[in-house]
Chain A
C-alpha cells in the first residue's frame, strides 16, 4: 500500500471519479497545465483533456454560474475555488442558484456540483488566503458541507461528494495538503460521506473538531492522556447535515464537551453543535459546552497567525476548564 499526502489523496480521488464517470468535469483557475496552485489537479488535464479539465477565466461567479448550466446539461462539475477568501464573488451563485435550483424546480433539476475550497490558515499567507467560511455555507439550505482532515478521507470523500446528486461544499485543510502521509487501501470500503467518526476513544471529555484542527485535537488528546485525562476525539467530517448520533452517544458517556475549529467562535459550527447537544443531552452534561475557535476579528497578519489560531494549549485549557467545572 502506498503512503500518500492529502494532496495526493485528493488528486487520486479526482482521477478515480473522472475515470468512473465521463460526465465529471473539473473547472477552475489554473487547474489545467499548472495543476492548481496547490497541485491538487496535477496531471489531470494531460490525461483527460482540456474539455474535461477546464481552465477558466478569472471569475469565480462565472465558474459557479457556468457550472449550474453544465449541471443542467447533465454534467457533474467539480469547481475549484483557489482560496477560501475568493469564494465570495461566487457567493451569490452558490447561495441563490446552486443551493436553490433543486427546490425551485421541485426536484426537476439536480445540481450535482462540488465546490472545492482550500480552507483555514497556518501557511503564512497574505490576507484572504486563510479563512474558514464553513458556517456561511452550512447555514444555507440546499447545500451540503463536508471537511476532510486526512489523506485517506480526502481520497474517498471527494469521490463520494462527486457522486452525490446535491451540491457539496468540499473543504480541504490547506495546511495539511503536503503535511502528513497515510496509507491508502484502495480496496477498502469507506464510511458513508455524511457521517462523523470517533478517532480516539475516551471517557472524560468529548472533543469535537474537523478539518485542520483534527490533527491539533489528536495531539491535545495525546498530551492530556499523559496527564491522566481520557479524551474522546470525534472528526465531524460533515457540517451540513451534521451527524450528531456518535456525538450524542459520546456526550452521554463523558458529560463534558469541547468543540474546536479555526473559524470564528461567534455563530460558528460550534454554536450549532452546542445547541444540539444541549437539546439532546441536557441531563448528561456535567459542564457547559465550551467552544474553542478564532477570535471574532478578521484574520490577522500572518506573523501572528499561530497565536491567533487555536492550538494545542488552548484546546487543553478548554479541556481543563470543562473538567474543573
Chain B
C-alpha cells in the first residue's frame, strides 16, 4: 500500500520520501525493534532497568485491558470498543512521563494513558457498554473524559493550560508545583479545525501544552497521506513551536521525548508537538473491517516493530528478568482480566429517571416537571420496575 499510487494523488513514498515507512531520518529512537538500545543526540532515557521492567509491565497489562475489552465486545457485553493494540508504547511512555499535577485530555482510545493515571479500567468500559458517558471523576485522576468529537479536546487542553498559567503554576522552578497539560489526538484529528486552532492559541499564549499525536497511519479507512502532505511533526514549525517525531513503538523514546516536552511546558517555554509514529494494529473499532482498505503485508511489517516484544527481548537478552517475572505478570494479567469480565457485567444499568438530574447544575422547573411526569406515567403500568419507586 505504501508504495502504490492512488488515483487521486501521489502515494505515501512520493509524499514523504522513500524512508517514510520507517519513520524517516528524524525519528527519535532509543530502543530498536530488535531490542537494542541506541543513543540519540537530543534525547536520552535516564532511568534504570528497574524502570524499564515497570514500563514493560504497564504495556503488558494495558494490552490485556485492550484485548479483554475487545473480547467483551465480541461476547456482546460492550456495544463497541476502540482498540489500542499496537499503541502501548506511545501511551505508556507518554503517560509515565507525566507528573501527578499534570492534566490529560484524551481521545476515546487512551486506555494505556488512563491506566497510567490510575483510572480503574473497569470505568473505561461504561462508555462502551452504554451505561454511562464517562464514569470517572476527571479531577480525581487529572484525566479528562473521553472525547468523541475528533480534536475537540485539544482546545479544552489549551484552555486548561491557560488556567494553569493564571494560577501561577507554570515556570515557578518548583518541580512539584509546575504543571502542564497533555492533549492526545490522532493523525485524523490533525485535519480538524479545532486542532489547528488549539495550536494557534497555545502558541499565541505560550501555554504549557504537549500536543501528543499518535499517528497510527489510519483514520478509520483514510491513510495519513489523505490528511497531510508533510510529516505531521513538521507542521509545528508553521505554528511557531517545536515538533518532534518519535518512534511510537519505542516506549523508552516516547518517555524521553514526552519528558523533554513536558519540561519545556513546565518551565514556561510553551507548547511542543510530539508525533508518535506508530500503527493501529487492530481495527478502528470493533465495527470496522480494515481488510477492506489496507494490506495484510503492512500489518505484518508493523508486527515486527511490536512495542512490547522489543522490550521483552531487551529484558531477557540482558538477563534483567527471568521466567518468574513473566509468569507473575501473566498471573497479574489474568486477575485483571477477571476483574474486567466480572466487573463489566456488574456495572449498574442506567435509569431513565436519572437522566434529568445533571443536564444543569441548577435544575430547571421544565426538566423537573418532565421527570415527575414520566415517573407518573411509568407508575400507571402495573408492576413497572419504576412504579412507585421514584
A141 to B63, CA, bound (A): 38
Q: For the complex, is B322 an interface residue (Cβ under 8 Å from A)?
A: no
Return chain A residues, CB-CB under 8 Å to B144. Answer: 72
Does A166 contact B361, Cβ atoms closer than 8 Å?
Answer: yes
1/0 contact string of B125-168 vs chain A (CB within 8 Å)? 00000001110011100001101010010111111111111110
Does B160 contact A73, Cβ atoms closer than 8 Å?
Answer: yes
A227 to B12, CA, bound (A): 78
Does B163 contact A103, Cβ atoms closer than 8 Å?
Answer: no
> Given A61-B197, A104-B145, A108-B138, are A69 and B362 neighbors across the interface (CB < 8 Å)?
no
Shortest distance from the beta carbon of A180 to any chain B beta carbon, whole Å: 31
Segment with Cβ contacts to A, from B198-206, B312-320, B376-384: B198-206
Shortest distance from the beta carbon of B137 to any chain A beta carbon, whole Å: 5
Does A108 contact B139, Cβ atoms closer than 8 Å?
Answer: yes
Q: For the complex, is A74 an interface residue (Cβ under 8 Å from B)?
A: yes
Least CB separation from A64: chain B residue: B155
Does B162 contact A68, Cβ atoms closer than 8 Å?
Answer: no
A16 to B94, CA, bound (A): 44
Does A66 contact B361, Cβ atoms closer than 8 Å?
Answer: no
Q: For the complex, is B42 an interface residue (Cβ under 8 Å from A)?
A: no
Shortest distance from the beta carbon of A17 to any chain B beta carbon, whole Å: 17
A166 to B162, CA, bound (A): 21
Q: How many residues of B contact A (CB 8 A)?
A: 45
Q: For the complex, is A291 an interface residue (Cβ under 8 Å from B)?
A: no
1/0 contact string of B256-290 vs chain A (CB within 8 Å)? 00000000000000000000000000000000000
B166 CB contact (under 8 Å) in A51, A92, A101, A165: A51
Least CB separation from B151: chain A residue: A65
Q: How many residues of A contact B (CB 8 A)?
A: 45
Q: For the complex, is A164 an interface residue (Cβ under 8 Å from B)?
A: yes
Shortest distance from the beta carbon of B196 to any chain A beta carbon, whole Å: 9
Q: For the complex, is B14 an interface residue (Cβ under 8 Å from A)?
A: no
Does B358 contact A68, Cβ atoms closer than 8 Å?
Answer: no
Q: For the complex, is B194 an interface residue (Cβ under 8 Å from A)?
A: yes
Shortest distance from the beta carbon of A75 to any chain B beta carbon, whole Å: 6
Does B145 contact A105, Cβ atoms closer than 8 Å?
Answer: yes
Shortest distance from the beta carbon of B154 to any chain A beta carbon, whole Å: 8
A73 to B133, CA, bound (A): 21
1/0 contact string of A94-106 vs chain B (CB within 8 Å)? 0011000111111
On B, residues with C-beta under 8 Å from A are 105, 132-134, 137-139, 144-145, 147, 149, 152, 154-167, 181, 193-194, 197-198, 200-201, 204, 355, 357-362, 364-367
